[in-house]
Amino acid sequence: MKIPSWRKVVRGASIKSDLEEIKVLFLRYLKEETIDPLKDLGRFVIFGALGSILVGFGAVMILFGTLRFLQDQFRVLDGSLSWLPYVIVAVLAMIISAFTLWRIVSGGAKRRLKVSK
């Protein structure tokens, strides 16, 4: 009795090897589609947070520098007008904060949508 050729193929393949191959494929897919993008997102978040902290620290230093500049260079602001440099720097800080919030709210997605239309 001659064995059909398709039976040779079936006989050579075992369910165990098929399940092992499915497991390997599933784990590779899982890694490529979930773990690697999460690692990339983590790096993006870390660098974004670190950049935000450094830019915020720089802005505070510039505001302190502006305050000291106003206090040192304009002697007319001594005495009864000594509060004026603080008000000027506070208003400047509010303007910078408002501009920053405006740019965050307007976002890049809205600008890209206008370009693509």
pTM of the model: 0.61
Distances (CA, A) of 77 to 6, 11, 82, 85: 97, 96, 5, 7
**In angstroms, rounded to a whole number, what is the distance separating the alpha carbons of residues 89 and 77?**
13
Task: Report which DSSP code applies to 33.
Answer: I
**In angstroms, rounded to a whole number, what is the distance separating the alpha carbons of residues 75 and 70?**
9
What's the domain range around 105? Answer: 5-116
Residue 6 confidence (pLDDT): 56
* Domain total in the chain: 1
Question: Mapped to the 3 state alphabet, what secondary structure does 62-113 carry?
Answer: HHHHHHHHHHHHCHHHCHHHCCHHHHHHHHHHHHHHHHHHHHHHHHHHHHHH
Residue 106 confidence (pLDDT): 86
Q: Which residues contact 84 (CB under 8 A, 6 or more apart)?
A: 70, 77
User: Would you state the torsion angle of the CA atoms of residues 98, 99, 104, 109, taken in this order, to the nearest 10 degrees?
Assistant: 140
**In angstroms, rounded to a whole number, what is the distance separating the alpha carbons of residues 85 and 76?**
11
Q: Averaged in consecutive runs of 10 residues, what is the pLDDT profile of the chain (117 residues)?
A: 56 76 91 85 91 95 96 89 95 95 80 60
